[in-house]
Structures are given as C-alpha cells and as structure tokens.
Amino acid sequence: MQNCPRCHQSIHREALTCPHCGTILKAYGHPGITLHRATGDTFLCESCTYHADDSCTFPKRPHAKECTLYQDVSQPQLEANSIYAPRRHFLESVKLWCQRHPALVGLLALIAVSLLLTLMAQK
C-alpha cells in the first residue's frame, strides 16, 4: 500500500487511478518499457512531467536515477491525457484545491470574518 500524492489516502501500489480523488497515476511500474537513466549528478524526477504535475507514486521519487515512466517535461505530451482523463467538474476542482491548500483556505476564511466584523462594527 502507498499513498495518493494528491489526496494522501492509501491506494494499491499498482493502482492506475486513485479510487478516492480520481487522480490518474502514471508511475506504477511497467515491465518491458525503456529504462530511462539520469546523467551525472541529476535526478530524473527533476525534469519529469509526473513530478511536476504531482501524479507520480513511485517510491524512488524524487530521487530516481532510473525510471521506466520518465516523461521529459520539456517535450510535448504524447499521452492522450485529454482523451481519458475525466473532466473535473468546477466545484470538484474547487474542493480539491481547498483540500490541497487548507492553510490558505483558513486564512481566507479568517480575512472574510474579520472584514465582516469590521463592516458590522461601523454600523
């Protein structure tokens, strides 16, 4: 078992999508695919699309020297993400954003409450 990089719920290590938040997980390890290797002191993850979009569940991330699922972030995406990625509903995206930024949500709520109190005090 390991955790979804987005919602942090536990998921099966070979899960293709997170059953909790629907995130498509790309680095679940495929046998028989080109093994990419980092050169010199760099790590593959530094320039990997799946590190950048936070969808990689590979335990070696972010220090992978070798990886079969590496996808160069500077290369155009060949993957037909838009074809099978479920289009997220706007409210669902907002919910996910709130789950990912709880501190910011708390701060915004605090600002809203203090603005409201200020307005009420002026009456």
Residues near ligand SF4 (CB under 6 A): 27, 44-45, 48, 50-51, 56, 58, 60-61, 64, 67, 69-70
For Zn ion, what does the binding mask look like between residues 91 and 120, x meaning CB under 5 A? ------------------------------
Side-chain half-sphere exposure of 108, counting CA atoms within 13 A: 6
Alpha-carbon distance 108 to 106, whole Å?
5
Residue from 18, 25, 27, 48 in contact with Zn ion (CB under 5 A): 18
The residue among 8 and 37 lying less far from Zn ion, judged by its C-beta, is: 8
d(CA 1, CA 69): 19
